[in-house]
Amino acid sequence: MSFAEVAVSVPLYPNKRFFDYKIPESLLGKVTPGQLIVVPFGRRKTWGVVWRLKDKTDFEGDASKIKELDSFVFEKTVFSKAQLEFAEWMCERYFYPIGEVCEAMLPAAIRKASQKLLNATPKVKEKLSHTLRVLNEEQERVMAEVASSPLAEHLIWGVTGSGKTEVYLHLIQKMIQEDKTSIVLVPEIALTPQLFSRFENAFPGEVAVFHSAQTEKEQRTSWLDIFYGRKKIALGPRSALFAPVSSLGLIVMDEEHEGSYKQEERLRYHARVAAQKLAELSGAKLILGSATPSAETLFRALSQKTGLSKLSARAVKTATRPTVEVVDLKKKLAQKTFQPSPYKEDAGESFPLEPESLFFSEELVYELGQVLERKEQAILFLNRRGLGRARVCKKCGYQPSCLQCAVTLIPHKNKMLCHYCGFETFVPEKCEKCSGEMKEVGFGTQALEEMLQKFFPKIRSLRLDRDVVQDRKKLVETLKSFSDREADVLIGTQMVAKGHDFPQVSLVGVILADIGFSMPDFRNEEKAFQLLTQVAGRAGRAEIPGKVVIQSFRPEEKIFQLLKEGEDLGVYEQFLSEVIETRKYLNYPPFSSLAMIQFQGLDAAEVEAAAVMVNKALDKVKAENFWVLGAVPSPIVKVRNKYRYQILLKSESFEVLKKSLTWVQDKWVGAGLEKKFQNTRLIIDVDPVGMM
């Protein structure tokens, strides 16, 4: 074999494009597919992945001009045969250059490391044995059903607190006994510290963590621990799917319904779809777990394409399902004063009703007082971070907006901040349009915490939102402090809804349940029900009875009535059955595949013209059960100073969708349309989750 095909990390078209290199005499017999190698590319040297070896080159020019491989970054094979196939599949499905797929799969800490660092043998701590908890009857039944199922994919559908994690641990124990590695996926970095502790206690010295907030040294250590087989469990958010596993036996995807499993930039893959493919290529079992499975997954399970096991009761026998109370916030509008709590010694006095007071009903404040008296804990959920306020002119209604994005700026302490591009400016006292007085209205988690102190001056509170998660140390400290009962209340956004297990939490308050109901997204109702079910499930997980207070201006909504019926799999199945029927009528997933084509650029007219031209061409596609929706401005039309238009494609056949997208990309890049619209960028998003 005299030549090697190499994937180089450059944004070139066609996407699956490899480059031929001669194998120099010094490397003959040493080069194998899957190795990380240094190659000359243009006037520089860069890294690449050896894909295949061959006797002849496909290069049509002078073969003597073909450059030689330079040297190894790492002499060992970093991509197994299954991972090479997986990378090719990712390239083809998500229309992304093969070399850049490899870059997404390989941490920078490995690509940039020296041979010495990569070959170093660290001192391995002695692994301690540990006994897992004994499973209850329902959990034992699930284990047996997973073991006996001939299907490669299995859904464990269990109410919150039913002990799905314990089942995962026992399944992983079987993998370790068979000397196989497991990948455990979680939807958020916020869940990683708590789950790491749980898994590390069960399997001391076997857990390697993968996530974007790690230092280069931590990235490298985790990667090498899995690569050399020193540890058998790779744990983390979606990127843990790329752990260098050589003997993969099991992939566990907890909270499989979560939208955060979709990568929204660069390589825009969906981790659930990708996990299905990796399991297929590796001969591994895929376990999907959720209390509120996605419509797509439940449909597959009910169609017997995926195995299905149910856990209908909470794992702690004395635990009971929380009671749910829905409070009508419209009734608060007529009030003129607010009596915060009957507990005078701990509560503030009555005060005139302020806009923020509307979000603390007497019912919720009373229940908080009860929690404090019983020395228990509560979670307050508001799906909006920071102060969350808008700065509005009292005279003309003007709101300051980001200069680069078509969104309102949000006050954060002493500055105005754009949540999309990070633009900052001062907090205006006077309106720039009419010089009227500016006032803040509405609020987020930070302002909620401030208002809570008015009701309960002595209360101990913590926040968990994106602002906290950006500091990993603070995230770990926050979760540990609440777990150690150093705070009475945890205030947070969606992060408090996902998978946390705090036995002393007896109350969950949903501050403004209406947020998100009006988003332009066909999954809107499903997402709202899932989120509220998950956050409600944080209450009453142990011996202490739980209560959920949901505050809404629209208490008549069907999902609130269903939540009041209790945490029952049958209720959720009935709800999703109706959702699935609607999807069938409208030809949305699971009855079709979706792709979004987005156009972005600095010139609004050019962006629109490009979108309209591509849309007209797609309208001429003669394929059965293929739909083109658009071109339309994106719901948020301007982000980071770029205007955005989009086209949504639907097809009952993914192959038809793939051919259409291939044609679009070929005309845009291959035929040079991008030169005509040189200030506009085309983005292809397959399996989109966000419609914004």
341 vs 75, higher pLDDT:
75
350 vs 641, higher pLDDT:
641
Give the whole-angstrom CA distance, residue 253 versus residue 270.
12
- The candidate with the shortest Cα–Cα distance to 614, out of 626, 601, 597, is 597
Q: What pTM does this model have?
A: 0.86
Structure tokens of 330?
A: 């419209």
19 vs 498, higher pLDDT:
19
Task: Give SS3 for 221.
Answer: helix
| pLDDT grade for 344, boundaries at 50, 70 and 90 | very low
Structure tokens of 41?
A: 């590319």
The predicted structure's pLDDT at residue 525: 85
HEC string of 127-145? CCCCCCCCCCHHHHHHHHH
The predicted structure's pLDDT at residue 406: 62
Give the whole-angstrom CA distance, residue 24 versus residue 32.
13
Task: Give SS3 for 475.
Answer: helix
pLDDT digits (tens, 9 = 90+) for 136-179: 999 999 999 999 999 999 999 998 888 999 999 999 999 999 99
Mean pLDDT of the chain: 87
| pLDDT grade for 335, boundaries at 50, 70 and 90 | low
- The candidate with the shortest Cα–Cα distance to 357, out of 379, 375, 334, is 334
pLDDT at 485 over 50: yes
